[in-house]
């Protein structure tokens, strides 16, 4: 392949010869020097070189030439060969020519004639270096574009490759990272397909239990279906939560809460497990630690559960101690230090570096034959999300210590939100207008569920299967409220909402109040909530939803009032008379009661639903009462009930 060529253009042969000799001496080892005595000849040479694949990084031309001046030549060259750099030689101070070359030909530099040799050499050298740098950047961009195209093709065929990638996880650590990320993205985006059918199953279970004429056997069967569906939903949510962590979609969500209460809850949760192993669980905090704080309670709770659970798992004798202390204060934030110490078997020094890698277990963890190797990586990510970092120190045979500090905001106890009462709406309160409700969903079952839930209450309800139909009904019927599914064919919920808001903004319904629109989605991705609210939706609800969520959301945005069932007797009074307790204790083992108590103490919904499935159908009302406690976040009542049976 021939060397790149520099083209020199001047109508004086002597000048060209001098220029060629100087450039040959300066850069001749790397570049050919081609001469042209007119602009037309230079253009012909460039055309020939283009056909032959010869690279021309630089053109040096005189300004004053017959027929075509230098600035016009450079403009023509730039139009056809924009990457070629250009230097203009001029023996006169021609500002107009230089301006034309700068503005229309991207002139690199102009040099006065006669030129200064060092100046010319430096200018040519810098021009060639600039050209090579631009060329290198262009090649790198092409390489990146190629990589991006390959990644796009990979994503397009991701579904069929997930199984193959999962198998590759076991072969190499590098391949594991790539496949794991792909799997996580896939599972997170599949949440809509996984949760949508469950929305219909659980929704119709709730709907059927509202019937006062339902036979007891059928009601019991529906309760079994509902418990099984709730169990399946818990499993799906666990998988999707793990996927969100791996996909980087977990966000920090701060709330006000009682830190002392959380520590007491965790102590009670693990006391029984520690006692079973013959070790002591100790939880202490200094008086300087604030009681009421604001941070992400859910993630802090999960971190401490993972650490305490690991400590108890790997400690055979001695104790596990959770110590919480005040560390320091910076502006409006207080730093709280958490330390979890155990007297277990310890961790070898060569295993500490891999301790926080997903799916990696230490030697002691493999011997224990428990867990997946995800607890500590999740804990580390959560701590970092809360503004801290987790460290570990260990000595084989003496124990391990995990420590982290996180910033919290101190709050007042009266700022803690009160838990709303769980009430069952049965009809619209009198003396209210007739509310028109539009249900938009591409799945008929989802529409039917909402319509059967809303129509008996006294709402006027219509349905649409996509965004286009929704807009047509909105224009004709003027609904007060729209339940808008997000993902639909023809037109999705976001676009339909945007068009409705645009038409409202143009005053097409100036005489009517603004329609309240609430998005419904089975997705668990946080960014979808932001997108639907940005499209103009007033609120966002997730599938599967409870009937309480539906009615409370409509009350919030419409001001609608309901009639509620009279204050119902407690589940204990309704379903747990002495006879039913005697029957339950006669058929369920003490081990079952012990497992149920531990699951209630740990607030392990999944384990509770598993255990409820073991209750005979004759005891379905009792199982429903326990299920009510779980769904109303009253696991403490399960503990009280078990202790009243005196079975453990």
Task: Output the pLDDT for position 571.
Answer: 38
Q: Over 80: is that where the pLDDT of 556 sits?
A: yes
User: Is residue 607's pLDDT more than 90?
Assistant: no
Q: Determine the Cα–Cα distance for residues 269 and 272; give it in Å rounded to an integer.
A: 7
Percentage, residues of the chain above pLDDT 90: 33
Helix (H, G, I), strand (E, B) or coil at 213: coil
pLDDT(519) > 50 = yes
Q: Which of 249-263, 559-573, 622-636 has the highest mean pLDDT?
A: 249-263
CATH number belonging to the domain at 5-137, selected among 1.20.120.420, 3.30.750.24, 3.40.50.2300, 3.40.50.1110 = 3.40.50.2300
| CA distance linking residue 269 with residue 603, whole number of Å | 8
> Does 145 have pLDDT greater than 60?
yes
The predicted structure's pLDDT at residue 544: 79
Q: What is the mean pLDDT of residues 234-260?
A: 72
How confident is the model over 167-174, as a mean pLDDT? 68
Domains 5-137 and 255-415 share a fold: no
Q: Is the pLDDT of residue 648 over 70?
A: no
Pairing type for strands 562-564 and 425-428 reads: antiparallel
Q: Ramachandran region of residue 342, left (φ > 0), alpha (ψ -120 to 50) or beta?
A: beta
The angle that helices 620-631 and 216-246 make with each other, rounded to 10 degrees, is 30
pLDDT for the residue numbered 515: 95
- The angle subtended at Cα 623 by Cα 617 and Cα 629, nearest 5°, is 165
Q: CA-CA-CA-CA torsion for 552, 553, 556, 557, nearest 10 degrees? A: -150
pLDDT of the residue at 567: 38
- 293 closest CA partner among 417, 410, 388: 410
β-strand partners of 325: 337
For residue range 439-465, list pLDDT tens digits in order: 999 989 889 989 988 988 889 999 999
CATH C-level class of 255-415: alpha beta
Domain ranges of the chain: 5-137, 179-244, 255-415, 571-645
Q: What is the pLDDT of residue 568?
A: 37
Residue 87 has pLDDT above 60, yes or no: yes
CA–CA distance, 615 with 592 (Å, rounded to integer): 10
| pLDDT tier for residue 570 given thresholds of 50, 70 and 90 | very low
Helix (H) or strand (E) holding 407: strand 399-410
- The answer to whether residue 536 scores a pLDDT higher than 90 is yes
| Per-residue pLDDT at 437 | 97
> Is the whole model's pTM more than 0.75, yes or no?
no
| pLDDT at residue 364, rounded to an integer | 54
């Amino acid at each position: 392949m021939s060397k790149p060529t520099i083209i020199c253009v001047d109508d004086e042969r002597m000048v060209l010869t001098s220029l060629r000799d100087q450039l040959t001496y300066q850069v001749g080892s790397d570049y050919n020097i081609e001469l042209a005595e007119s602009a037309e000849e230079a253009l012909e040479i460039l055309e020939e070189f283009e056909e032959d694949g010869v690279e021309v990084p630089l053109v040096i031309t005189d300004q004053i030439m017959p027929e075509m001046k230098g600035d016009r030549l450079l403009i023509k060259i730039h139009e056809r060969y924009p990457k070629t750099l250009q230097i203009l030689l001029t023996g006169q101070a021609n500002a107009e020519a230089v301006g034309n070359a700068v503005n229309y030909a991207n002139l690199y530099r102009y040099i006065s004639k006669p030129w200064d040799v060092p100046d010319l050499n430096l200018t040519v050298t810098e021009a060639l270096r600039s050209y090579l740098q631009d060329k290198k950047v262009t090649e790198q961009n092409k390489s990146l574009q190629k990589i991006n195209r390959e990644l796009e093709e990979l994503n397009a065929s991701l579904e069929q490759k997930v199984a193959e990638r999962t198998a590759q996880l076991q072969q190499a650590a590098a391949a594991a990272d790539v496949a794991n990320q792909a799997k996580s993205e896939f599972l997170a985006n599949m949440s809509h397909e996984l949760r949508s059918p469950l929305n219909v199953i659980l929704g119709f279970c709730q709907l059927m239990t509202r019937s006062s004429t339902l036979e007891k056997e059928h009601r019991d069967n529906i309760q079994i279906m509902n418990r099984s569906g709730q169990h399946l939903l818990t499993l799906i949510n666990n998988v999707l939560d793990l996927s969100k962590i791996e996909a980087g979609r977990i966000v920090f969500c701060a709330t006000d809460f009682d830190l002392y209460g959380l520590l007491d809850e965790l102590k009670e949760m693990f006391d029984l497990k520690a006692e079973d192993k013959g070790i002591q669980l100790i939880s202490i905090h200094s008086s300087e630690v604030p009681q009421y704080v604001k941070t992400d309670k859910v993630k802090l709770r999960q971190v401490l559960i993972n650490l305490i659970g690991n400590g108890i798992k790997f400690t055979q004798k001695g104790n596990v101690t959770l110590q919480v202390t005040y560390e320091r204060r910076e502006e409006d934030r207080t730093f709280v230090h958490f330390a979890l110490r155990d007297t277990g078997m310890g961790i070898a020094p060569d295993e500490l570096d891999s301790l926080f890698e997903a799916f990696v277990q230490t030697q002691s963890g493999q011997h224990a034959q428990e867990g997946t190797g995800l607890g500590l990586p999740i804990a580390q990510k959560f701590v970092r999300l809360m503004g801290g970092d987790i460290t570990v120190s260990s000595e084989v045979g003496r124990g391990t210590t995990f420590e982290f500090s996180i910033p919290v905001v101190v709050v007042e106890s009266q700022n803690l939100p009160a838990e709303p009462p769980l009430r069952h709406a049965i009809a619209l309160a009198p003396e209210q207008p007739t509310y028109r409700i539009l249900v938009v969903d591409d799945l008929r079952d989802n529409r039917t569920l909402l319509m059967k839930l809303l129509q008996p209450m006294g709402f006027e309800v219509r349905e649409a299967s996509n965004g286009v139909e929704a807009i047509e009904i909105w224009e004709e019927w003027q609904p007060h409220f729209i339940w808008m599914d997000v993902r639909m064919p023809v037109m999705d919920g976001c676009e339909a909402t945007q068009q409705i808001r645009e038409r409202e903004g143009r005053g097409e319904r100036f005489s009517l109040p603004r329609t309240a629109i609430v998005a419904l989605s089975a997705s668990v991705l946080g960014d979808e909530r932001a997108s639907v609210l940005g499209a103009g939706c007033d609120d966002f609800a997730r599938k599967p939803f409870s009937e309480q969520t539906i009615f409370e959301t409509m009350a919030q945005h419409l001001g609608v009032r309901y009639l509620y069932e009279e204050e119902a007797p407690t589940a204990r009074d309704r379903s747990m008379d002495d006879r039913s307790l005697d029957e339950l204790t006669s058929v369920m083992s003490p081990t079952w009661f012990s497992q149920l108590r531990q699951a209630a103490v740990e607030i392990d919904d999944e384990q509770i639903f598993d255990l409820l499935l073991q209750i005979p159908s004759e005891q379905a009302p009792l199982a429903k009462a326990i299920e009510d406690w779980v769904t109303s976040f009253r696991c403490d009542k399960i503990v009280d009930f078990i202790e009243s049976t005196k079975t453990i």
